[in-house]
């Protein structure tokens, strides 16, 4: 199926090999065959002219919600995989908070099979930590790993029971997978709909304080430290949370962590006017928190940029703020947003961006890819770093449009997305 | 529509966005309307032919009745919808309810809703005028206006007047509307109550925060005492109503220690013996019933101005004409 492809003349940015220069990239039989200043095109090879384009190891998003099974009106595994490819992602990790939840090997197998059938970005299933995501006892983690799960999480819910989290961090060590947690102490955030602060006071909306996230992050770090397990902290949004992770890493705790594009770019002011498209969990916080998240991504405290792609039907977001669900879609805006507002503002350079969006997601979740080394899977993202475009959710491949960046002018967008040596998306 | 400023615009969603001129225009317009309610025939044709829907998603007695009197005294045709027995309870969304009303060609909606921001949501989606009759814990602008009018009536000014709002401030839309309106009109504002219900973060709105009602009484010219809902005790914000009364209740004994007499307001309904003692509620400095009277006048003024009436013509309008 996979053809021989030659990408010519692109700026190849591959931090895994400390490579940043104009190279040709030859892909044969689904693998990277050669990366060199000049490669002769083999017979029958398709040649993609990448002059003035950037060629990187395929982008990987370790945090997406594809809603299938159960909420196919919001997204399906196929539509999500296509949205990922259109956004320049070659692989995504699908969260298990579906209906029913992905808490058993059969369900994991379903996600993996649907992902393969979509034939777009790779879809890696993530299983639940606990049976039915109920936070009571461990799910069949070993069997789920055998069926293809690359991590476990009860995302959507935090693991409130510290004893259960400790067991999960111990048990998963037998399988070498991370335990991903949505850090939120629900007893502190209960009833909250946005960041607790001056904006929530003015709008009369109940708030979620930073402390709800901070306490949970610190607890998870302590449990990872005492068990030796691998904790992956999702969508970190607070100043104290970033600092706590930084200190834990210095102590040698096995922790990886995410930042989302929206927490890197927006603050709680985006909620003004009760804009439900800016409602997500954790909420957008203050400029001080945003600066800390930016610093965390810059110095590597936060290893990965992950979208927390959370599709919702427009009927659900077209409601009073307190009635609307949390979450925004991100797969098709992430690269443009990060190039424009994070790289463009000098917070990350291009190689570091590729680290956070490709190399480190692969390392954190032990996934193939994240490199263009010879023999690696031919998962490649090619993007035009200067193309200007306007965010228009009607053009999304995702089934949902909910996001606060509509109409934003961005610079930089994907040109080709290659998975296993196959062009799964091109502009 | 009026060609002269200040105009309220299409809607009254809250007092936060209104300037001194707009607020003063409403208060000044309410003055001539007060007299209508004192007449034997309490009706003028100002809103004749206008259709107003009172859409109440939360139970309300006094606000709904006050609006209804205001509408009827201005000769509007009114329909009342409450959440019980309406399609709202059958799962219809707010936006569908609004569109259906709009399709029946109404002129104004007065809405009470449990969600903060619901009034803004509705106002952004229908061309009719929307008057917020309370949205969640966000704002209750006509209550704020009637409180402010009552203070101005009694003290002659708002400039430099010290108003302390006592009670469950964090959950209160009345508190927020009072804070925004009073600060814009030059008053000084404080809030007082148990820190669980009056968090220090309110200082960011530009108000003083007192933890002890004795300190508030020493400071204030006016106390606006909020109702303490039983559910706050059940949710654990205060251990008991008795303890609340002992520590934060406004009593004659406490008021006697003030350096001068305080004006006493309460937006109602009162829990006598909890946040306010009966002798205070019924005492000579209580203007609680003036608030109720002013409520009708303020709501008449708001409806008149949103319908395009001009403040300077209110006196003439009440003699017979419609909005200019």
Residue A3: the pLDDT is 81
Identify whether residues B85 and B223 lie together within a single domain.
Answer: no
Among A321, A338, A364, identify where a domain stops.
A364
Of the candidates A240, A198, A237, the residue with the CA atom closest to the CA atom of residue A215 = A240
Distance from C-alpha of B311 to C-alpha of B313, rounded to nearest angstrom: 5
Does B7 map to a domain?
Answer: no
Residue A225 CA: distances (Å) to CA of A222, B173, B194: 5, 46, 40
Distance from C-alpha of A61 to C-alpha of B9, rounded to nearest angstrom: 46
Distance from C-alpha of A325 to C-alpha of A302, rounded to nearest angstrom: 26
DSSP-assigned beta bridge partners for residue B54: B80, B110
Distance from C-alpha of A115 to C-alpha of A118, rounded to nearest angstrom: 5
What CATH number is associated with residue A204?
3.20.20.140
DSSP-assigned beta bridge partners for residue A48: A7
Q: What is the average per-residue pLDDT within B165-194?
A: 97
Residues of B in contact with A195 (CB under 8 A): none
Identify whether residues A51 and A92 lie together within a single domain.
Answer: no
Of the candidates A261, A251, A250, the residue with the CA atom closest to the CA atom of residue A304 = A261
Residue A238 gets which letter from DSSP? -
Output the average pLDDT for chain B.
Answer: 92
Identify whether residues B281 and B297 lie together within a single domain.
Answer: no
pLDDT digits (tens, 9 = 90+) for B29-87: 999 999 988 889 889 999 999 999 999 999 898 999 999 999 999 999 999 988 764 55
Identify whether residues B180 and B129 lie together within a single domain.
Answer: no
Identify whether residues A64 and A31 lie together within a single domain.
Answer: no
Retrieve residue B158's tokens. Answer: 């708002």
Q: What is the average per-residue pLDDT within A317-324?
A: 92
Does B209 map to a domain?
Answer: yes
Question: Is the CB of A202 less than 8 angstroms away from the CB of B176?
Answer: yes
- 3-class SS shares of chain B: helix, strand, coil, % to 5: 45, 15, 40
Q: Exposed, middle or buried, B307 (CB in 10 Å: 0-12/13-18/19+)?
A: buried
Residue B89: the pLDDT is 52
Distance from C-alpha of A235 to C-alpha of A181, rounded to nearest angstrom: 9
Res. A25: pLDDT tops 70? yes
Whether residue A27 contacts residue A33, with contact meaning beta carbons closer than 8 Å, is answered with yes
Could you say which of B116, B176, B205 has the minimum Cβ distance to residue A322? B116
Could you say which of A201, A315, A320 has the minimum Cβ distance to residue B117? A320
Residues of A in contact with B202 (CB under 8 A): 201
| Ramachandran category for residue B283: left, alpha or beta (phi over 0 → left; psi -120 to 50 → alpha) | beta
Distance from C-alpha of B205 to C-alpha of A105, rounded to nearest angstrom: 53
Whether residue B228 contacts residue B243, with contact meaning beta carbons closer than 8 Å, is answered with no
Identify whether residues A48 and A159 lie together within a single domain.
Answer: no
Does A174 map to a domain?
Answer: yes
Question: Is the CB of B117 less than 8 angstroms away from the CB of A203?
Answer: yes
Identify whether residues B163 and B122 lie together within a single domain.
Answer: no
Q: What are phi and psi of A389, to 5 degrees?
A: -150, 165
Of the candidates B88, B51, B36, the residue with the CA atom closest to the CA atom of residue B319 = B36
Identify whether residues A132 and A20 lie together within a single domain.
Answer: no
Res. A28: pLDDT tops 60? yes
pLDDT digits (tens, 9 = 90+) for A105-156: 999 999 999 999 999 999 999 999 999 999 999 999 999 999 999 999 999 9
Binned at pLDDT 50, 70 and 90, residue B207 comes out as very high
pTM given for the model: 0.92
pLDDT digits (tens, 9 = 90+) for A86-105: 999 999 999 999 999 999 99
Identify whether residues B212 and B226 lie together within a single domain.
Answer: yes
Of the candidates B226, B148, B222, B143, the residue with the CA atom closest to the CA atom of residue B184 = B148
pLDDT digits (tens, 9 = 90+) for A205-235: 999 999 999 999 999 999 999 999 999 999 9
Question: Is the CB of A205 less than 8 angstroms away from the CB of B117?
Answer: yes
Q: Exposed, middle or buried, B256 (CB in 10 Å: 0-12/13-18/19+)?
A: exposed
Give CA torsion, residues A245, A246, A249, A250, to 10 deg: -140
Binned at pLDDT 50, 70 and 90, residue A401 comes out as very high
Give the three-state DSSP class for B197: coil
Does A209 map to a domain?
Answer: yes
pLDDT digits (tens, 9 = 90+) for A269-298: 999 999 999 999 999 999 999 999 999 999
Residues of A in contact with B11 (CB under 8 A): none
Q: What is the CA radius of gyration of chain B?
A: 19
Spell out which chain B residues touch chain A, with contact meaning CB-CB distance below 8 angstroms. Answer: 16, 93-95, 113, 115-118, 120-121, 135-139, 173, 176, 201-202, 204-205
Which H/E stretch holds residue A7? strand A5-14
Q: What is the average per-residue pLDDT within A376-398?
A: 98
Q: Who's near A215: CB < 8 A, 6+ residues apart? A: A185, A188
Distance from CA of A319 to the nearest CA of B (A): 7
Identify whether residues B149 and B280 lie together within a single domain.
Answer: yes
Q: What is the average per-residue pLDDT within B2-14?
A: 77
What CATH number is associated with residue B190?
3.40.50.1370
Q: Read out DSSP for A27-95?
A: EETTEEEEEES--PPPTT-EEEE-TT-EEEEPEEEEEE---TTT-TTT--HHHHHHHHHHTTEEEEEE-
Residue A420 gets which letter from DSSP? T
Residues of B in contact with A196 (CB under 8 A): 201
Retrieve residue B37's tokens. Answer: 């309610």
Identify whether residues A44 and A166 lie together within a single domain.
Answer: no
Give, rounded to a whole angstrom, the gap between the first and last alpha carbons of chain A: 21
pLDDT digits (tens, 9 = 90+) for A102-114: 999 999 999 999 9
ipTM for this prediction: 0.87
Identify whether residues B278 and B173 lie together within a single domain.
Answer: yes
pLDDT digits (tens, 9 = 90+) for B277-286: 999 999 999 9
Distance from CA of A331 to the nearest CA of B (A): 28
Could you say which of B120, B136, B205 has the minimum Cβ distance to residue A202? B205
Q: Read out DSSP for A92-142?
A: EEE-S-SSS-S-SHHHHHHHHHHHHHHTSSEEEE-B-SBGGG-SSSB--HH
Residues of A in contact with B205 (CB under 8 A): 198, 201-202
Residue B87: the pLDDT is 54
Identify whether residues B146 and B256 lie together within a single domain.
Answer: yes
Does A81 map to a domain?
Answer: yes
Output the average pLDDT for chain A.
Answer: 97
pLDDT digits (tens, 9 = 90+) for A184-211: 999 999 999 999 999 999 999 999 999 9
Identify whether residues B118 and B195 lie together within a single domain.
Answer: no
Binned at pLDDT 50, 70 and 90, residue B313 comes out as confident
> Which amino acids of A are annotated catalytic?
308
pLDDT digits (tens, 9 = 90+) for B101-126: 889 999 999 999 999 999 999 999 89
Residue B3: the pLDDT is 43
The answer to whether A176 contacts chain B (CB < 8 Å) is no
Residue A418: the pLDDT is 98
Residue B35 gets which letter from DSSP? G
Distance from C-alpha of B115 to C-alpha of B192, rounded to nearest angstrom: 25
Distance from CA of A288 to the nearest CA of B (A): 16
Among A343, A364, A385, identify where a domain stops.
A364
Q: Who's near A181: CB < 8 A, 6+ residues apart? A: A153, A154, A155, A158, A159, A165, A216, A220, A231, A232, A233, A234
Q: Report the domain count for chain A.
A: 2
Could you say which of A204, A205, A319 has the minimum Cβ distance to residue B93? A319
Distance from C-alpha of B227 to C-alpha of B230, rounded to nearest angstrom: 9
Percent share of chain A, pLDDT over 70:
100
Q: What are phi and psi of A231, to 5 degrees?
A: -100, 135
Retrieve residue B249's tokens. Answer: 């209740």
> Range of A319's domain?
58-364
Q: What is the average per-residue pLDDT within B288-308?
A: 96
Identify whether residues B284 and B296 lie together within a single domain.
Answer: no
Identify whether residues A266 and A413 lie together within a single domain.
Answer: no
Residue B1: the pLDDT is 40
Which H/E stretch holds residue B81? strand B77-82
Residue A413 CA: distances (Å) to CA of A9, A338, A360, A391, B303: 18, 10, 21, 11, 51
Residue B321: the pLDDT is 54
Does A372 map to a domain?
Answer: no
Question: Is the CB of A201 less than 8 angstroms away from the CB of B120?
Answer: no
Binned at pLDDT 50, 70 and 90, residue B153 comes out as very high
Among A364, A397, A415, identify where a domain stops.
A364
Identify whether residues B203 and B146 lie together within a single domain.
Answer: yes
The answer to whether A187 contacts chain B (CB < 8 Å) is no
| Ramachandran category for residue A18: left, alpha or beta (phi over 0 → left; psi -120 to 50 → alpha) | left
Identify whether residues A42 and A71 lie together within a single domain.
Answer: no
Q: Who's near A98: CB < 8 A, 6+ residues apart? A: A66, A67, A68, A69, A70, A71
Residue B102: the pLDDT is 85
Could you say which of B93, B94, B137 has the minimum Cβ distance to residue A204? B137
Q: What is the average per-residue pLDDT within B137-157?
A: 98
> Range of B260's domain?
141-290
């Amino acid at each position: 199926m996979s053809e021989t492809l030659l990408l010519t003349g692109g700026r190849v940015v591959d931090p895994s090999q400390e490579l940043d220069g104009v190279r040709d990239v030859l892909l044969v039989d689904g693998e990277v065959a050669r990366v060199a200043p000049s490669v002769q095109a083999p017979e029958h090879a398709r040649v993609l002219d990448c002059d003035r384009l950037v060629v990187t190891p395929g982008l990987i998003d370790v945090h997406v919600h594809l809603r299938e099974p159960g909420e196919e009106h919001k997204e399906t595994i196929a539509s999500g995989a296509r949205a990922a490819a259109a956004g320049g992602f070659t692989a995504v990790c699908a969260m298990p908070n579906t209906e029913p939840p992905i808490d058993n090997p059969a369900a994991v197998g379903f996600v993996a099979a649907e992902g393969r059938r979509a034939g777009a970005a790779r879809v890696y299933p993530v299983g639940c930590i606990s049976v039915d995501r109920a936070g009571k006892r461990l799910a069949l983690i070993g069997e789920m790993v055998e069926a293809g799960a690359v991590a476990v999480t009860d995302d959507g819910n935090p693991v409130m029971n510290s004893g259960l989290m400790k067991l999960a961090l111990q048990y998963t060590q037998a399988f070498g997978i991370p335990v991903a947690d949505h850090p939120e102490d629900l007893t502190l955030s209960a009833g909250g709909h946005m960041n607790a602060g001056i904006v929530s006071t003015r709008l009369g909306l109940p708030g979620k304080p930073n402390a709800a996230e901070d306490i949970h992050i610190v607890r998870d770090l302590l449990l990872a430290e005492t068990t030796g397990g691998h904790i992956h902290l999702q969508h970190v949004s607070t100043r104290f949370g970033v600092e706590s992770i930084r200190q834990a890493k210095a102590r040698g705790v096995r922790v990886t962590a995410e930042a989302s594009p929206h927490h890197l770019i927006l603050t709680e002011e985006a909620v003004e006017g009760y804009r439900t498209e800016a409602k997500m969990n954790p909420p957008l916080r203050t400029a001080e928190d945003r600066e800390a998240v930016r610093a965390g991504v810059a110095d590597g405290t936060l290893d990965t940029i992950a979208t927390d792609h959370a599709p919702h039907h427009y009927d659900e977001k077209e409601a009073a703020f307190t009635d609307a669900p949390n979450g925004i879609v991100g797969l098709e805006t992430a690269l443009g947003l990060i190039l424009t507002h994070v790289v463009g503002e000098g917070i990350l350079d291009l190689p570091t961006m590729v680290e956070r969006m490709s190399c480190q997601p692969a390392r954190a979740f032990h996934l193939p890819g994240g490199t263009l080394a010879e023999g690696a899977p031919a998962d490649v993202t090619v993007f035009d770093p200067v193309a200007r475009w306007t965010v228009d959710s009607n053009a999304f491949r995702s089934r949902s449009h909910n996001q606060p960046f509509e109409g934003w002018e961005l610079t930089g967008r994907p040109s080709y997305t290659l998975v296993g040596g196959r062009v799964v998306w091109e502009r | 529509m009026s060609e002269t400023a200040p105009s309220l615009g299409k809607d009254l969603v809250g007092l936060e966005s209104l300037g001194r001129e707009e607020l003063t225009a409403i208060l000044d317009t309410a003055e001539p309307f007060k007299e209508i309610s004192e007449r034997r025939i309490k009706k003028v044709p100002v809103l004749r032919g206008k259709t107003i829907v009172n859409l109440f998603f939360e139970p309300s007695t006094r606000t709904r009745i006050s609006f209804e009197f205001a509408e009827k005294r201005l000769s509007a045709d009114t329909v009342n919808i409450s959440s019980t027995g309406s399609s709202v309870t059958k799962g219809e969304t707010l936006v569908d309810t609004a569109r259906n009303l709009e399709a029946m060609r109404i002129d104004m909606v007065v809405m009470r809703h449990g969600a903060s921001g619901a009034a803004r949501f509705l106002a952004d989606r229908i061309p009719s005028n929307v008057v917020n009759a309370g949205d969640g814990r966000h704002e209750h602008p006509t209550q704020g206006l009637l409180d402010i009018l009552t203070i101005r009536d009694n003290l002659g000014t708002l400039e430099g007047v010290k108003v302390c709002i006592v009670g469950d401030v964090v959950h209160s839309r009345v508190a927020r509307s009072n804070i925004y309106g009073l600060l814009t009109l030059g008053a000084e504002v404080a809030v007082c109550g148990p820190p669980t219900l009056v968090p220090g973060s309110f200082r960011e709105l530009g108000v003083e925060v007192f933890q002890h009602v004795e300190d508030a009484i020493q400071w204030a010219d006016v106390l606006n005492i909020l109702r303490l809902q039983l559910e706050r005790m059940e949710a654990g914000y205060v251990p008991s109503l008795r303890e609340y009364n002992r520590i934060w209740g406004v009593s004659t004994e406490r008021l006697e220690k003030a350096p001068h007499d305080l004006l006493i307001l309460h937006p109602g309904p009162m829990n006598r013996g909890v946040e306010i003692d009966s002798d205070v509620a019924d005492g000579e400095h209580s203007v609680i019933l003036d608030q109720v009277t002013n409520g009708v006048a303020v709501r008449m003024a708001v409806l008149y101005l949103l319908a395009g009436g001009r403040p300077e013509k209110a006196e003439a309008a009440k003699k017979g004409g419609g909005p200019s």
